[in-house]
Amino acid sequence: MVSSLTQNWWLVVLRGALSIAFGLAAFVWPRDALTALVILFGVYALVDGIFLVASGIAGSGASGGMRWFLVLGGLAGIIVGIVTFFYPNITATSLLYLIAAWAIVTGAFEVVAAIQLRQEITNEWALIFGGVLSVIFGVLVFIYPNAGALSILWLIGFYAVIYGVAIIALGLRLRSLGTTLTNASAGTL
């Protein structure tokens, strides 16, 4: 599992970069918030889901349970992204509930994945932090759906940027771990 994650560290960093880009775009287009949100969120969820599925499939040495968590989380993102594109005229509240459900599901999968990784790597806090942040965000959106499109958009933007930073930190940690493992195995030959 660790070998697969360290070899594909760049996918984790790319997920984080996409999350940050999505969050920043949410701040840039506040007046066209709903349209931009539908388009950006659809693209983000779809691409993020694809990368998550790819990570799960590429984890050939990973335990079956861990791979399934990654694949299922990715499939949830892909489905949400596709639904968003086929039904762009859904109401803001419906979209917010869709985003909230997606954030809770992916956050829960990430917390479970981090707990499983805890036995194999140190500093898995970034994935736990990202997962908990995702769940909290989803719950807050369910509790306050009528808080206003602009405030929800800004909340989504903040969430995406902070989550992206946490995931990039995890990816860079995986890269460092991969270098350490490569050097250690080269030294034992």
The 3-state DSSP composition of the chain as helix, strand, coil percent (nearest 5) reads 85, 0, 15
**pLDDT of 103-126, one tens digit each?**
899 899 888 888 887 777 677 788
Tokens linked to 12 = 């984790």
Q: Above 70 in pLDDT, residue 46?
A: yes
What confidence tens digit (pLDDT) does each residue in 139-175 have? 988 887 766 566 777 888 898 899 999 999 988 988 8
Distance CA 126, CA 131 (A): 9
Q: Break the chain into its structural domains and give their ranges.
A: 2-181
Higher pLDDT, 138 or 7: 138
In angstroms, the Cα distances linking 179 to 11, 67, 151, 173, 184 are 16, 23, 42, 10, 8
For residue 104, what pLDDT is reported? 93
Rounded Cα distance, 7 and 104, in Å: 28
| pLDDT higher than threshold 60 for residue 91 | no
Residue 167, token pair as written in the block: 């995931």
The one-letter amino acid code at 46 reads L
